[in-house]
Structure 1
């Protein structure tokens, strides 16, 4: 939280470690191959290994690293800054796309999104979604179309 105290437009995310769904074994992610958030042309979030040139520039292995996007759900943000950004778009349904939307808003509105390598949070990745999806509606695709429209078109 020190990064947010330094500047309320800093948004920070931890390194996301994996907790095995069946055994609860904790898989700690080392900082030797740090990854940052990205996305593809389909507006799907993905991870990218920090390029060697950026990794070598780090003065310390715990130095915060700028990230283009975040996975979502695991981040810290100043409440007033979140509200200044407009919070989450109410046009999104259930899950998907909101992480990219808030990431883009952060960068486009003078903020900074960082991964803090010394901060780790374990996450259990489910084998199937716990959400009830509407029949005949691809919610993720719908949300990604909404994201593109909001970012690039006036609707």
Structure 2
């Protein structure tokens, strides 16, 4: 891997460890007496196990790989959103509604609101970014180095006594 890819993997690992999430712009309104438009944003965070299982189930039902999504042309992206737009919006809604109650009650209304309020290009960007953050293949080196540097792990000289 070249230096850029290494830095990208390190940044994604730190974002995953800090759980910063992916910021998604919603709607932009221009008010008459303000220079800048008012922007609403929400943050998609890494879901808990129950939400993650639902997202994976929805993702697998679309029958598409991350490489295929990244390689889509303009027309293929539009066809993909026409076929799977509601599924993608439900996946994004599952990252926003993370509680056990909100995951059951609010996912469909939030998915509807996202379809109405979010631009298509942000949908695809959020999908690509979130799918890339779900994988853990690139983090195996980092995880193994953390395991070697673990201060709580017994060293060779501490094998008999344990202190």
User: Which bracket does the TM-score occupy, shorter chain normalised?
Assistant: under 0.3
Q: Which of structures 1 and 2 has the bigger CA Rg?
A: 2
Relative contact order: is structure 1 or structure 2 higher (C-alpha 8 Å, sep ≥ 6)? 1
Select the structure that is richer in strand: 1
